[in-house]
Amino acid sequence: MTVLSALPRRALGRTGLNVSVLGFGTAPLGDLYVQLDDRAAIAAVERAFELGINLLDTSPLYGHGLAEHRCGTAIRRASREQIVVCTKVGRWMDPMHGRGDGSGFVGGQPHRAVVDYSYDGTMRSVEQSLLRLGTDRLDLLLIHDVDIWTHGADAIEERFREAMAGAYVALDRLRGEGVVAGIGVGVNEAEMCVRFAKAGSFDVMLLAGRYSLLEQPALTHFLPLAQQQGIGVLLGGVFNSGILATGAVSGAKYNYRDAPPEILAKVAEIERVCAAHGVALPTAALHFALGHPAVASVVLGAQAPQELERNAAALSTNVPTALWADLKAAHLLDADAPVPPAGSR
């Protein structure tokens, strides 16, 4: 299978890697919402490569190893040198015990996730990922979910200390040994990105949900700091768990829960402005996220080839600059937010 290069690519900070402006987020391949057929899941990864998506973002957490297994099968059928593989640390899988409740995945492997940001736990996680992915090296390794969202306010300080004293030291060593090209964090809060950026030498950060067409809290401190330090930024959750994809419909999700009335109202207003310019809401959301100069790629989840094709087509859609001006005039978008020029991809 040949990896094409139809999508534009951007330099990822100081890693020396060039990544497609669309990345493939593989949480759905861990049976996040539904149990997927193996062949269909692997076909989605292969279709991503065919479309020119070269950034594959995964994690041991996704299906407790299942997403990495499925990605590994697709990687073995492709040219490894053309693919940027990103996975995460902070949990290793215990194969001797069942998954238990609260995993969030409806399917996946029958293994228990052990939260562990220690040095030894990190090395164990990396070794397991290399085996599941069927490769001898990784391109990007991220410390996963060191945020209040995951661990709560009472535990976050201890988790941060453990991550810097353990996981960071391990990843810095692996970077020095050439096992990995870049190290970073993958979190849900811009404030934690700032804390990590000030505490260590990181190459890349994946921020979910906090820089989108709906909200831009990362604009004030994190994104300028990333530019200053040469940190490559990947954005996840640019649809804010679904509402910027579905619109303000009944049952729309925001931060993995039913959207509250004020969020529904704001999204409805954004959607109204987009419709006036003939632009679909998810298309505007995608283009906006790529408009900030610190952002190298937007990582979008998918579980079927058709979803990947739809994302690639949205990227090719022209979005008039007047749309951004109208959103700012209506105070629906931060006045200082950079926006993409007309015809950009």
Residue 6, Cβ neighbours under 10 Å: how many? Answer: 11
Cα–Cα distance, 308 to 306 (Å, whole number): 5
State yes or no: is 258 an active-site residue. no
Q: State the Cα angle at 329 between 325 and 334, rounded to 5°.
A: 80
State yes or no: is 57 an active-site residue. yes
State yes or no: is 88 an active-site residue. yes
What is the reported pLDDT for 100?
A: 62
Q: Which of 57, 139, 145, 203 is catalytic?
A: 57
CATH tag for 9-329 (out of 1.20.210.10, 3.40.50.300, 3.40.640.10, 3.20.20.100): 3.20.20.100
- Look up tokens 């995608």; give the residue: 286
Residue (of 92, 97, 122) closest to 111 by Cα position: 97
What is the reported pLDDT for 86?
A: 98
What is the reported pLDDT for 97?
A: 81
Q: Which of 31, 38, 62, 117 is catalytic?
A: 62
pTM score: 0.95
What is the reported pLDDT for 103?
A: 62
Q: Which of 88, 117, 145, 211 is catalytic?
A: 88
What is the reported pLDDT for 270?
A: 98
- List C-alpha distances in Å: 57 to 84, 88, 138: 8, 9, 11
Domain boundaries, given as residue ranges, for the chain:
9-329
What is the reported pLDDT for 3?
A: 46
What is the reported pLDDT for 98?
A: 76
Per-residue pLDDT of the chain (345 residues), as tens digits, is: 444 457 999 999 999 999 999 999 999 999 987 899 999 999 999 999 999 999 999 999 999 999 999 999 999 999 999 999 999 999 999 999 876 655 678 889 999 999 999 999 999 999 999 999 999 999 999 999 999 999 999 999 999 999 999 999 999 999 999 999 999 999 999 999 999 999 999 999 999 999 999 999 999 999 999 999 999 999 999 999 899 999 999 999 998 889 999 999 999 999 999 999 999 999 999 999 999 999 999 999 998 999 999 999 999 999 999 999 999 999 999 999 999 987 665
